[in-house]
Amino acid sequence: MSKYWSEITKSITPYVPGEQPRDKKYIKINTNESPYPPSPKVIEAIKEADDENLKLYPDPTVSGLRETVAQYYNLDKDQVFVGNGSDEILAFSYMAFFNPGKPVLFADITYSFYDVYAALFKIDYRLIPLDEEFNLPLEEFFQENGGVLICNPNAPTGKYIPVEEIQRILNKNMDQVVIVDEAYIDFGGESSIKLIQNYPNLLVIQTLSKSRSLAGLRVGFALGHKDLIEGLDRIKNSFNSYTLDRLAMAGADAAMKDQAYFEETRNKIIKTRETLSQKLKEIGFKVLDSKANFIFISHPDIEAYNIFQGLREKGVLVRYFNKPRIKNYLRVSIGTDEEMEVFYKGVKEIIGAR
């Protein structure tokens, strides 16, 4: 604690990302990265953009990439905002759409950055408890609020709610912004993007970190009514005119255009997830239905923390959250079939299954 820190700096508890260890080589299934490399066309596009033009500022309006994303989703360019990962867009959204004194609603078990933003920007929030099976109680989002934030599929549970339920929430919140964080939507869920034309209160946020294998490039985007996009632009342009460098723009553009590669890799991940889930159930695990690139699992006999530690010793890194309600669960990112085989053998040994 330093006397030079602002009151906010003193009061916040920063987000802690999943560890990126360097002590040895792990099977790293703890931060929901893709096990597959980005499309070769991405690598190529970046090499092409890596030239003397790096001396010049990037396009502050990110015009080309926004156009590409707009075309991909059949929207207008002014319905697209591009940011430095979906985390940055979430941070901008708190500033752009939420006010102090009016609580924002989100689930008690969800992406653990949401309450960190709230503390940073002094936005009140109310946690909506998920039910015993981690389902979202829709009606709770009909109460008076200052905004709604839903992660769909949810992290770390992987549970997905259908677009019709999002629509019910939107209908009851026409005066506030409803943000649907779709970081994991490409792994089996249907996006709420189709509701954008009818709901000026809907902002959908996606990322290239997961389904496009580009966690290392830092690109996310938000889709919504042009007034919402303008709100995000106003904040961004009061914060940092250029949050995406030239290389990130080039790579992201190529990624959005390589549909075949995208389909191939995300389908492989879905298939691996389903196979693994089945096998884990057969050896006694509870496995939540997941539409994400991870699964959330629990074993009736062996504590999650012990499995986590046992796996770590075997060189397999999964995510353990020391938090109420979920401390007997592990979040396991879906890797390649080979990686999942190592993981599976490891847990089998740890739980003593034959």
- Nearer Cβ to a copy of itself, position 110 or 280? 110
Residue 341: CB minimum distance to a copy of itself, A? 20
Residue 222: CB minimum distance to a copy of itself, A? 13
Residue 149: CB minimum distance to a copy of itself, A? 14
Let me know: does 62 contact 241? Beta carbons within 8 Å.
Answer: no
- Nearer Cβ to a copy of itself, position 70 or 247? 247
- Nearer Cβ to a copy of itself, position 235 or 297? 235
- Nearer Cβ to a copy of itself, position 43 or 263? 43
As a residue count, the chain comes to 354
Give me 17's structure tokens: 């990302």
- Nearer Cβ to a copy of itself, position 84 or 350? 84
- Judged by DSSP in three states, 75 sits in coil
Let me know: does 204 contact 180? Beta carbons within 8 Å.
Answer: yes
The full DSSP string for 98-114 is --TTSPEEEESSS-TTH
Between CA 205 and CA 220 the distance in angstroms is: 7
- Nearer Cβ to a copy of itself, position 14 or 284? 14
Backbone angles phi, psi at 80, to 5 degrees: -125, 130
Between CA 110 and CA 282 the distance in angstroms is: 27
Let me know: does 314 contact 10? Beta carbons within 8 Å.
Answer: no
- For residue 61, count CB atoms less than 10 angstroms from its CB and return exposed for 0-12, middle for 13-18, buried for 19 or more: middle
- Nearer Cβ to a copy of itself, position 35 or 288? 35
- Nearer Cβ to a copy of itself, position 98 or 187? 98
DSSP 254: H
Residue 87: CB minimum distance to a copy of itself, A? 4
Residue 18: CB minimum distance to a copy of itself, A? 8
DSSP 140: G
Residue 174: CB minimum distance to a copy of itself, A? 10
CA proximity to 335, closest of 324, 346, 327, 325: 346
Residue 65: CB minimum distance to a copy of itself, A? 14
Let me know: does 213 contact 178? Beta carbons within 8 Å.
Answer: no
- Nearer Cβ to a copy of itself, position 227 or 263? 227
Question: Which positions ≥6 away from 295 have C-beta within 8 Å?
Answer: 158, 273, 276, 277, 280, 287, 288, 331, 332, 334
Quote the Cα angle for 238-69-18, to 5°.
70
Residue 266: CB minimum distance to a copy of itself, A? 13
H or E element in which residue 280 lies: helix 259-282
Residue 307: CB minimum distance to a copy of itself, A? 24
